[in-house]
Chain A
Amino acid sequence: MAKKLGLKQRYGLLTRGLDWETSYQPMDKVFPEATFEGIKIKDWDKWQDPFRLTMDAYWKFQSEKERKLYAVLDSFAQNNGQLSISDVRYLNAVKLFITGVSPLEYQAHRGFAHAGRQLPGVGPRIAAQMQSLDELRHAQTQIHTISHYNKFFDGMHEFPHMHDRVWYLSVPKSFFDDARTAGPFEFMIAIGFAFEYVLTNLLFVPFMSGAAYNGDMATVTFGFSAQSDESRHMTLGIEVIKFLLEQHPDNLPIVQKWVDKWFWRGYKVLGLVAMMMDYMLPKKVMSWKEAWEIYFEQAGGALFEDLARYGLKPPKYHEQATADAEHLSHQNWSIFYNYTQAAAFHTWLPEDDEMAWLSEKYPNTFDKYYRPRFEQWRQMEKDGNRFYNNALPQLCQTCQIPMAYTEPGDPTTICFRESEYKGDKYHFCSDGCKDIFDNEPEKFSQSWLPVHQIFQGNCGGADLGDVLKWYNMNVGADNMDQNVSPEQALWDKWQAERSRVAAE
């Protein structure tokens, strides 16, 4: 007999040999969240472990990656890596990432820890716990990676505080709050499947390739160090949905409803990525529309063809999301241009070459609907009258984004949808968001909508200045147009010094 067990044997013992039926307490008290969602599991042993990793192998593997990452981060800092980025405007994508995405990694850590605790099957329990550790590591390494930029630039200094309070950050925050307050199975479909499998390539890849194109080697290195984790997360997501659908036919309508809901919720959050790709990257990778075609229409299309054998249909309103790809980034950038005075990053108008790129990427819509808007704003700025919207916007009750989206098929009319619950009206930006509310009005009538909270007096005061103070915003540095920002001035000074030195 071999003295040491092989990896496979150790994994087998970890996931099959260590579990037991409790006798002092009934199993349904040990796993109190296992049944209320209506999901039926006949045999947890049918779970196919998508990856077989023991804890010791996990630690060894991760610590190797960590060593490499921190070596690169050290050299990035010592070599003043902040000088090598394509342009100072790029940093606004980093700000969006650290305030909007990194806190979600932490939320995912907590969510998977909870789901891992509540799933009665030991295989998925271990997989969820490992993902929980990955997510914590991602939050931590992202913070360390980006902290170097925080030494020189604005808008990053209060990212966890802002994540909890700032109006647009309630969009990603409420998305995860929604998932984490669901049952463990819905969480696994929401985050494990819909977000990590179906939509992850539209979040992670654009930020990481954006970093690569724009000389941000620190973030690129983080991306590489997270990549093998991400592929493990994807295999977990796909295994979860297949397992639920194989276990009992009654699970199909429940899972379908979650897929519909979480596709639309995720798609709305990804609108932030859309505008990042099309407007915020000085060196562009690809357009949002192209990314949507590759990663959702083609890859997602193939996925749902594969899942059709279980009776699962592609998510409801996916055709709408595809049609919206012509408009999404332009409408979102307009929201932030309207409200840059209250945002923790800067906006600006696209330059001529960027407008030409947008015309080429969006031949059906950019010149017709959006270029004239930017030209008008450019004229106003030239006249010393930079456009700011000085009233607060109406928000969608479900996605919490300002109600800026237009009617399907009519880009000139805002889409208004409405429902009633307990005698009050609720407003939505789309049919998808209205459906989600109508299925769970109990939950979504409790949404913390930033605009309404300001009017209730819960956000530091009634004036914009009071609210920005409550956000811990460094007014005049974190907010307002790029062109008048201190970091633009700093960057210009650095560039001037460089050319002076080069000339000498």
Chain B
Amino acid sequence: MGVIALDPDYASKVAPADTLDKFHGNQLVYIHWEEHLMFCAALAFPFPPGMPFGAILAEILPTFYGIHPDFEKIDWGKVRWTVDGKDITPDPEKSLADHGVGHKSLIRFWTPGLTGVNGLATV
């Protein structure tokens, strides 16, 4: 349906605020560790599309999720990953773009057997 606006040409003048060109070569990426809701929401980052997925594994996740007692127990071989709802198997050498991670993509991961402190996903 058309927008309701005083200006009949309003729709053609709309400039979305968060298009890729505004992020200085980065793209917005959201990461969420499922069943560990001590972290209140998914985390937001500006990452270059060419960044290897391994940088998320080696640097980003330990820096921002490392404080959780479950973190050091993660068996990375068993982790289930999705990008925008599609299952992926990460290759640390390949880029985010190679994994289908685009601007404003959401990466979710599940750590089997680790579902929060004392098995409570809200912790």
Contacts and interface: CB of A to CB of B under 8 A. Distances in A.
B6 interface: yes
Given A335-B41, A414-B41, A452-B28, A443 B3 contact: yes
B121 A412 contact: yes
B97 to A, nearest CB: 15
Interface residues of A, number: 57
Given A414-B37, A424-B103, A394 B123 contact: no
B4 A38 contact: yes
Looking at chain B, what size class is its interface with the partner chain?
35 or more
A442 B41 contact: no
Given A387-B67, A422-B16, A456-B22, A338 B44 contact: no
A393 B43 contact: yes
The residue in B17, B102, B106 that gathers the most chain A C-beta atoms within 10 A of its C-beta is B17
B61 to A, nearest CB: 10
A372 interface: yes
A445 B14 CA distance: 8
Contacts of B53: none
B64 A393 contact: no
A424 B38 contact: no
B24 A411 contact: no
A416 B21 CA distance: 25
Nearest to B60: A391
B17 A393 contact: no
Chain B interface helix/strand/loop/mixed? loop
Interface in B9-27: 10-11, 14-20, 22-24, 26
Contacts of B63: 390
The residue in A418, A422, A447, A452 that gathers the most chain B C-beta atoms within 10 A of its C-beta is A452
A347 B70 CA distance: 25
Contacts of B40: 331, 334-335, 338-339, 389, 393, 402, 404
The residue in B19, B108, B118, B123 that gathers the most chain A C-beta atoms within 10 A of its C-beta is B123
Contact of B64 (A391, A425, A427, A446): A391
Given A370-B122, A424-B18, 19 more contacts: A36-B5, A38-B4, A183-B4, A334-B40, A373-B120, A389-B43, A391-B44, A393-B42, A394-B43, A412-B35, A412-B122, A414-B37, A416-B32, A422-B16, A424-B16, A425-B84, A427-B30, A448-B17, A456-B18
Interface of A: 32-33, 36-38, 183, 331, 334-335, 338-339, 369-370, 372-373, 376-377, 380, 385, 387, 389-395, 402-404, 406, 411-414, 416, 418, 421-422, 424-427, 439-440, 442-443, 445-449, 451-452, 455-457
Interface of B: 1, 3-6, 10-11, 14-20, 22-24, 26, 28, 30, 32, 34-35, 37-46, 63-64, 67, 84, 102-106, 108, 117-118, 120-123
